[in-house]
Structure 1
Amino acid sequence: MSDFPYSEAEIIDFLQRDVPRLLVHLGPIQVPNWGQMTAQHMVEHLTGAVRLSMGRYGLPAPPPSPALDEVQAYLQADAPFNISTPNPATARKLGPVHQPSLAAAISLLLLTLDEFFDHYAQQPAATAVHPAFGNLNFRQWQVFHFKHFHHHLRQFGLIPTSLLPRPLGARQSN
């Protein structure tokens, strides 16, 4: 189904082990390499995306179309998200943060990631709608989160080099 170069086990390892280890190095005044988000805005943004992947916002699915097929293929591609990819749900100006501190935001993100894996363990056939990528299943959401977290961890210098595209010699079989 997928041409994505990371196995499910590698994606889970990245989200459950690498992300918490990397976020320890994120500071509240850390300056991003691009974009306007603060560290706490970025962490809260990721939390919102994980909630989205569990259907918490009840978005309607976009109708099937060739354009939707193209963006779903882009999601599965061995390429990072573009630095300049705008978030249509985000205003031009940053809104307020919702957690009392960066540490609290990180704790909530990690708890929400655990909920994501529990949600799909209990409902393996569940799907949820992403506003750009359409209706996604658990594997597709894993790929989305891998690419999305990778994008923002690079944004704040927590991953020094891109994990995508993955070198051919480094591929692990599923």
Structure 2
Amino acid sequence: MKSLFETEAHQDILQRINALKSTSKAKWGTMNANQMVKHCQGPIKVAMGKEQLNANIGFMKKMVFKLFKSSLYNDRPWKQSIPTAPEYVVRDQPEFKTEKVALIDLVNEFNKLKDKTDWVAHPLFGNFTADQWGKAQYKHLDHHLRQFGL
């Protein structure tokens, strides 16, 4: 799996985000491009400790989440239209250009953390290494860019 910490993968993601337009149509799912660029910011913010998810799901559910942890960063593509955490659902119509710039800024900020060692634990999946965080962020962005044909 590529990592957002790899120069080539980082540049690839930026080029694909830059190719996205507010009029780009999704091949699956219910989000439009405006919502997608806002949605994709959430997981990056969580990884960087800028945002929290509701972790009040109980011990058993947390154990189940940990069983699926590797699916966040392994080489197998995610299925189309998989559910997302409620905190990541974008119901309004954010301004595309503003959110696209914010996403690009977050991707660049995250990329600069490749040598970071003190990552916050994911509230549902637990601790990740820098390598796992980099792969998980790439995989999430790749999934949604493919959703819009990029």
Report the TM-score, using the length of structure 2 for normalisation. Answer: 0.79
Unmatched 5+ stretches in structure 2: none
Q: How many corresponding residue pairs?
A: 147
- Structure having the higher strand fraction is 1
The code of the aligned residue for 2:27 comes to N
Are residues 1:13 and 2:8 paired? yes
Cα root mean square deviation, aligned: 2.9
Corresponding residue for residue 38 of structure 2: 44
Are residues 1:81 and 2:75 paired? no
Once the two structures are aligned, what percentage of the paired residues are identical? 26
Report the TM-score, using the length of structure 1 for normalisation. Answer: 0.70
Measured after TM superposition, the shift of residue 152 of structure 1 is 0.3
Are the counterparts in 1 of residues 21 and 33 from structure 2 also a CA contact under 8 Å? yes
Higher normalized contact order (CA 8 Å, seq sep 6+, divided by chain length): 2
Unmatched 5+ stretches in structure 1: 159-174
Alpha-carbon distance change, 29 to 73 in structure 1, aligned in 2, over 3 angstroms: same
The code of the aligned residue for 1:140 comes to Q
Corresponding residue for residue 19 of structure 2: 25
Superposed CA deviations along residues 130-150 of structure 1, whole A, max 9, x for unmatched, are: 354333232111111111011
Measured after TM superposition, the shift of residue 129 of structure 1 is 3.6
Corresponding residue for residue 157 of structure 1: 149
Measured after TM superposition, the shift of residue 63 of structure 1 is 5.6
Measured after TM superposition, the shift of residue 126 of structure 1 is 1.8
Distance in structure 1 (CA, Å) of the matches to 2:5 and 2:44: 18
Which residue of 99, 108, 116 corresponds with 1:114?
Answer: 108
Distance in structure 1 (CA, Å) of the matches to 2:117 and 2:5: 21
Distance in structure 2 (CA, Å) of the matches to 1:149 and 1:127: 20
